[in-house]
Amino acid sequence: MQVVRRRIGSSTQVSALSLFIRSIHPYQFNQRRLRTGASIHYSHMPRITVSRVIGLIPLTWFCLVGTWFFLPSPVVSPINRPGTIASTLQSGGTITAVVENKQSFKRKRDDGIPIQWACSGCSGLVLDWRLESHAPTDSLLLHLGEARINLTEAALQGPQPDADEKATSIYVSPPIKARIRTGSTRHSLIMPWFTWADSILTYWTMHYPREDILVRTFSPEPGVVEIWKDIEMWDAYAAGNTIRETDREVGLLGTFSHVPTTRLPGAPLRANAAGVKVAGIQGELPSRTWPIRGFICGPLYVPTFMIAVVLDVCTFGILTMKGDLILGMLVVLLALIRTERMVLSPSRWLCRPGTKRPKQRGIWGPSGPVADEESGLLKERPLTAMSMFPHPISKPSRSRAPILSKS
């Protein structure tokens, strides 16, 4: 019986065959080294178990707290600030500006009597500005907190372009109550490197304090409406009086110009915010990364900070919530390093691990592996017949003649 032999001319051909097999089966040659030097093969069949999902919880919490502590807070540059405010309001978005809580703001109690400093401990007031095109009334509305101010109506009651004596038609509205958000910087979870606006918003997100303030609308020119605090100047103001620059610096909150007042039947021309110019919005804008931090201290408050609350109770208040979070991060970090969970590899987390002998290629003869020193295949085992397709090389059996690699 004649034995069928496969001849491989040189080691170059063997190397070419090796590269071809690796290109067909790249995953079978993906190896990881253990500390002992052994090889670990990871099967690429997903193996998601309950223990692995539970093991992701500490790492997720560690990432959330780390993001809360160390996420940068880039602010809007003064050059881009006017364009950002104008484009956001013209497109119907909301601009949040945080102003300092001063005595120039008049508050209003439930009985309607204005009082000063009704918000005890609040160091900042959050003003939310938004323009609404109200088509049913063909008007442009301004949302300031929970108040709705009709800018079109204020502009129509003020000076008109065809009026001769503009000073006699200057319009000042009665005090308007606006409920706004307030906040403080005195909270254990507020870091010193947070921006002031982010600190105020963080306090509000966790405690939801609100306050009523009084504002007025003032139309000094055609198509111009200014939003003012209800300062003492308006109690004695008369048409034609000159507004001092100091009063303007203290009381003016924002100016809206080019407010449309032309009415055309059947077409809501006045309910259009695209051409409105916005200037002088007072206050500090939140940082660009505030939505991320706000999501952590808002919807994710319980999974992120509940551990700090529990530790604060268990330690009888010895550490602050800030210290409890840092202690918890250190414990989780040591646990992750101990269990080798800090290797952020999808195959390490979701695939089937195990220490196995490396699957290597080889050519077997009747008495074991056959190789020469040049090819370097000694003591290597072959792959299965299907994995070596289209040139199957496998261990010989009773029904299969041995295949030799000697020339």
Distance of alpha carbon 182 from alpha carbon 402, whole angstroms: 85
Mean pLDDT across the chain: 75
Query: Does 345 have pLDDT greater than 80?
Result: no
User: Which has more confidence, 341 or 293?
Assistant: 293
Q: What pLDDT, in 10s, does the model give residues 292-328? A: 999 999 999 888 888 888 877 887 778 788 888 888 8
Distance of alpha carbon 192 from alpha carbon 202, whole angstroms: 13
Q: What is the pLDDT of residue 369?
A: 58
Q: What is the pLDDT of residue 370?
A: 57
Type and span of the H or E element at 130: strand 124-134
Whole-angstrom CA distances from 105 to 100, 212, 276, 324 are 10, 10, 27, 38
pTM of the model: 0.69
Under the banding of pLDDT at 50, 70 and 90, the label for residue 338 is confident
Q: What is the pLDDT of residue 279?
A: 92
> Cα-flanking dihedrals φ and ψ of residue 115, to 5°?
-135, 165
Type and span of the H or E element at 10: none
Q: What is the pLDDT of residue 349?
A: 52
Q: What is the pLDDT of residue 350?
A: 53
Q: What pLDDT, in 10s, does the model give residues 146-159? A: 999 999 999 999 88
Q: Which residues contact 32 (CB under 8 A, 6 or more apart)?
A: 39, 40, 42, 348
User: Which has more confidence, 183 or 30?
Assistant: 183
Q: What pLDDT, in 10s, does the model give residues 239-259? A: 778 888 998 999 999 999 999
Under the banding of pLDDT at 50, 70 and 90, the label for residue 115 is low
By CB atoms closer than 10 A (0-12, 13-18, 19+), residue 36 is exposed
Query: Does 405 have pLDDT greater than 70?
Result: no
Query: Does 389 have pLDDT greater than 70?
Result: no
Q: What is the pLDDT of residue 241?
A: 80
Q: What is the pLDDT of residue 20?
A: 45
Average pLDDT over residues 227-241: 85
Helix (H, G, I), strand (E, B) or coil at 61: helix
